[in-house]
Structure 1
Amino acid sequence: MFNPLLPFEWIVAIRFLREGRLQTVFIMAGVAIGVAVIVFMSALMAGLQGNFIRRVLSAQAHIELLPPKEVSRPLRMGAHAAPGEVEGAIIQPPLQRLKSIDQWQSVTAQIRTMPELKVVASVAGGSALVVRGNANRAVSVAGVEPAQYFRIVDLESKIVRGRAQLTTSDILIGTELADDLGLQVGDKLRLSTATSASGTDATGAALTLTITGIFDLGNKGANARNTFVALRTAQSLLGLPGGVTSLEVTVEDVYAAERIAQRITAATGVQADSWIKTNAEFFSAVNAQTLANTAIRFFVGLSVAFGIASVMAVVVVQKAREIGILRAMGISQAQIMRLFLLQGGLLGLAGSVAGCLLGAGILVLWQRTALNADGTPLFALALEPMLFVYALLLAMLTGLAAAFAPARRAARLDPVVAIRG
């Protein structure tokens, strides 16, 4: 008996699906598995990429502004050259001196007006020698303003001993350097440079600083090489009075860093290098992962579409007599077409709901079983609600598209021929 609350096409479509229960179950299972694969792979790749990017960007800025490099130019012979004479100048690249960004305060004020930028921090960096008794190590010194720089590199969360305090007499060092020189929090450490930034002072400068914190950046080389001091301390040590060697910038969209860096260069004339440029191989690997994930989702969706289309084609053959009778009763071709499109859409919708639940279950199981040695999750997998919404829509639209050809064939069946079989 017909339900008056449902349109005719819905009643017949649901009845056809019930009559072919085995076919319906199998195609729904196929759709569910396909959707579960899409959900799991999408969340896995997103989590993996997010984890990689967090690791890469946890100890560096998204964009770094640097002073221009010095270049050598030959002295041209110009009008004194004889006819046919060829200049044979040999150009040797000059040594790059440590120098400050020209008018860095105005550059900072200019780029801070850009809405895409989050944090701009000034850094005075260079090389120095750490001396501890008879031992010494070459290190990289970064003079920073903690209030700004710690918003780019969260050193406070990476401190394993002591605290992230930086006054003019303090220094932060890495765990490897501390182990190599036998240093602890509160010890004194002498920093010295061979020459000043101008290169005129052959004796350089030296400072004795107190270790207030020991950090772990998760990289053995960085822990052995990197040290952090206050900005004014580094300016005094490196011979950069009032100057900075770089401006560190973070942006809202990390994938737009290169485009924003080019805009900064065009607006200020200062060289701006994005993390995408300095980590070109890593970014290529991220793009390759994205393409691979897209290809997997495409072929899984294609297999789901062919599965629904094949089942619907079989249903058209099986229900040819019923279609003929319906057509003889006055049902229009458009109604017959809608009937089969509804079946495809319902199969896609029901299968996608089951697939989303299955995919979410696999993701939860993955987070509980894929663990690091210390018991923490391998990397975070965020269950984004929009991912499931997109999967539902994709599967339903795939079902409708796959059912289009069988529905059109069913609508074009001749009633007399269909009834006679």
Structure 2
Amino acid sequence: MAATPPPPSLSLPSNKPFSLKRSHSLFHPPRNNNNNNKSLFSFNSNLRCEIKGFEGHRRWTLDRISDMNKDSTALSNSSTNPSSPLVSVSAVTSAAQLPTQNAKKVVLFFCAETKALAEKIAADSDAIELRTISWGKFPDGFPNIFIPNAQGIRGMHVAFLASFSSPAVIFEQIPVIYALPKLFIASFTLVLPFFPTGTSERMEDEGDIATAFTLARLLSNIPISRGGPTSLVTFDIHALQERFYFGDNILPCFESGIPLLKRRLQDLPDSDNISIAFPDDGAWKRFHKQLQHFPTIVCAKVREGDRRIVRIKEGDPRGRHVVIVDDLVQSGGTLIECQKVLAAQGASKISAYVTHGIFPNNSWSRFGHDNGGHPETAFTYFWITDSCPLTVKEVTNRPPFEILSLASSISASLQI
């Protein structure tokens, strides 16, 4: 009688994405050994998996894999028997890192400012293919734009990664955004990580212009592709009511950078001593549900005579590593005032997170790095995403700033 083959073994290289084909998966044995599909794993036995953790739809942890063809006693003996068929695995991966036969292939175009982020998005998923656009100018300064091999994207799912950092670049990109859906493509997605006019959404006096509404109307008139209305992916829009500014010809998908912050906080050595501070009630309303597992501090601006000062409305920062959370920062005045009052009330460390680091006129230089013991004048960490590419270039490798990339979140959104 032939010897029984050894149980399957499983190892995961820590520096490579965990990818599986349906025909060779952890859950189904291969149908035949001559299948040309290549896979990281191949099994000839039924396997049982135990899921250790699940966060949302993008992160999961595979803790155990066992050979169900073996006696159930193997489970109880696995802790003492090193040759047991029970294999322990820890793998956390994004949805975009698990390509399947049904993954939607997406052609991603980008502008000059978003090239670095586009390359990260493509690296995150085999289902995304980068294509370039020729961005030129006529002698009079107006755009001279060309999409190479435009016929080659017919019938394909197409996305454009935009950056509206100034009125000039908006005018350059709008013609491309309007042209792509008309090239007989299957669907069109506009990825605009930062919706730039979001702070101009209110009319407080007759004659005020709500430019956020104007830009939303401009995007709402993007031509419909063969697959229907354009999908718009944007992150942490400043005012929640702005979702109602868009017309019926566009489908806004509102994402958040807060999951990136939560994962980063879990990696800190003092992760059990974190408190979240909101600089005003608006930030609390926007983010407190996503951060409800942390102790919370809410600040508020109050008027004293002719001055408006920041006070702690609720919460206790004493002895805590306090992380101030908001959607965006410009000059940084509110963050700094909030920092001062938190330090005065006993915070041991102060850090900050904003999804959009705008920092006009190099205002990022106001934020110093605290190596320890000076929370009243400097920040331990200042996290921003790469939604504003020009800022990323300025602050990369400049403590206290750290960049949390939106690449994996965008990659997953393109699969919706």
Note whether the superposition's TM-score is higher than 0.5.
Answer: no
Give the TM-score taking structure 2 as reference length. Answer: 0.22
- Would you tell me which structure has more helix in proportion to its own residues? 1
- Would you tell me which structure has more strand in proportion to its own residues? 2
- Select the structure with the greater relative contact order (CA < 8 A; seq sep ≥ 6): 1
Q: Quick check: which has more Rg, 1 or 2?
A: 1
Give the TM-score taking structure 1 as reference length. Answer: 0.22
